[in-house]
Amino acid sequence: MGIISSGFHGKRRAGNPALPPGQYETESFPVLTAGPAPDVAAEDWEFFITTETGERHSWSWDAFMSLPQVDFRTDIHCVTSWSKLDTSWRGVSLDTLFEDVETTSDFAMAHSYGGYTTNIPLSDLLDGQSWVAWEFDGEPLERAHGGPARLLVPHLYFWKSAKWVNGLELMPDDVPGFWESNGYHLHGDPWREERYS
C-alpha cells in the first residue's frame, strides 16, 4: 500500500472489476488530441493496408460501407485514467479488412489524416479484437472523436485507437508511433498499466 492520505476518502468510482488498475469510470467522453482535428469528408476518405512487399489494398468510403458491418459494445480505457464502460459502436472488423491481405509482418503502424501515427502488433488487431468504427452510440462518429472513422483497439489504451484513421502500414519490426515516441508505452495494455515508457 502506498502513502496514506488521512482525510482522503475518494468517491469510489474505481471499485468496479471492469476497471483496469488506476482507472476510474466516467460517463462523459473526453477528447484528447495533440493538435487540431483534421476535417475529412467521407467522400475523400479512404482506408488502406500496405504490406512489406509494397502491395496496397484500399477502400473508398462506399467500398468500406459495403463490407459486412458489425455492432459491438466494449469498454474503453484512456491513459489519462478515465474509462468509459459498455460503449456502443458500429464498424468493420479488421479481420474482414485483412481477408485478402497476405503478410509476414508482425506489426502495423496506423496512420491518420493529420499525420498521427500509432504502432500496434498484428496479434492485437486480428481475431475479433479491433475495428474501423464509424458510428458511436447510434450516431455517425463526430469529427472530434475521429470521424468519419477511427480505429478501435479497445483492449489497449485508447491512444492506440487512432482517430481519423487512414490506413495501416504493415512492418516487420515494432517502430514507435507518435505518443510512443513522446514518453508513452510501446504496447499500452491497461491491465498491465503500460502507460509510460
Note the residues at the interface with other proteins (CB under 8 A).
Answer: 1-15, 22, 24, 26, 28-39, 80-82, 114-115, 142, 144-145, 178-179, 181-183, 185, 195-197
Residue 120 CB, shortest distance to other proteins, in Å, is 19
- The CB-of-154 to other proteins minimum distance in angstroms stands at 18
Give the torsion through C-alpha atoms of 31, 32, 34, 37, to 10 deg: -20
Minimum CB–partner distance for residue 119 and other proteins (Å)? 16
Grid coordinates given for 48: 488502406
Choice between 64 and 157, CB closer to other proteins? 157
Q: Which is nearer to other proteins, 61 or 179 (CB)?
A: 179
Least separation in angstroms between CB 6 and other proteins: 6
Nearer to other proteins, 81 or 96 (CB): 81
C-alpha pair distances (Å), 152 with each of 15, 16, 85: 25, 23, 14
Going by C-alpha positions, the residue among 103, 72, 112 that lies closest to residue 90 is 72
Residue 61 or residue 164: which is nearer to other proteins going by CB?
164
Using DSSP, state whether 145 is helix, strand or coil: helix
Positive/negative CA dihedral, 91, 96, 102, 104: positive
CB of 58 to other proteins, least distance (A): 24
Residue whose C-alpha is closest to residue 118's, from 67, 152, 77: 152
Cα 22 to chain center, whole Å?
Answer: 20
Q: Which is nearer to other proteins, 16 or 58 (CB)?
A: 16
Nearest alpha-carbon partner for 84 in 126, 137, 141, 162: 137
